[in-house]
Structure 1
Amino acid sequence: MFAKHTVYKHDHYNMLTVEVQGKTLVVREISDQWGETCHKFVSRPELMDWATKRFAPNDFPDGEEGLRAAMEKLKSI
């Protein structure tokens, strides 16, 4: 069984989850604009590098605080 973590869920159509599948981290990004996108990472530093380049405060309803909370959640996985 894989461990699944919800990083954020703004509503039914905008969310980010991470599944830990052994050494692989599978990120599922679901958006009402783009549909579902899946990313696979082999290390946590690779995941964090992607996340810092991918997200900006305006991607979150509560801005900077939402970004900070999502990044903290990703670091804890």
Structure 2
Amino acid sequence: MAKSHLSFKGSLIEAELVAAKFKEGGVDVEVTSRGDIQIILFQEPEDSPCRVQLQRAIEAQPDSDLESS
């Protein structure tokens, strides 16, 4: 399962509220114990052709505000 995370500057409760908004919009997210928000990008096996192709496309993108993990 590939994840991307957002470093969230705020309390754990605030991170949970932000994550709830993502979930309302249909985005699969988790909040870590440190209050980071992890966005679940896809849940296919590591070596699936679709996942490999998508990972390459993500890596080819210029840096943005989201840090890939």
> What TM-score does the superposition give when structure 2 sets the normalisation length?
0.34
Flag the structure with higher strand content: 1
Structure exhibiting the larger radius of gyration computed from Cα positions: 2
Higher relative contact order (CA 8 A, sep 6+): 2
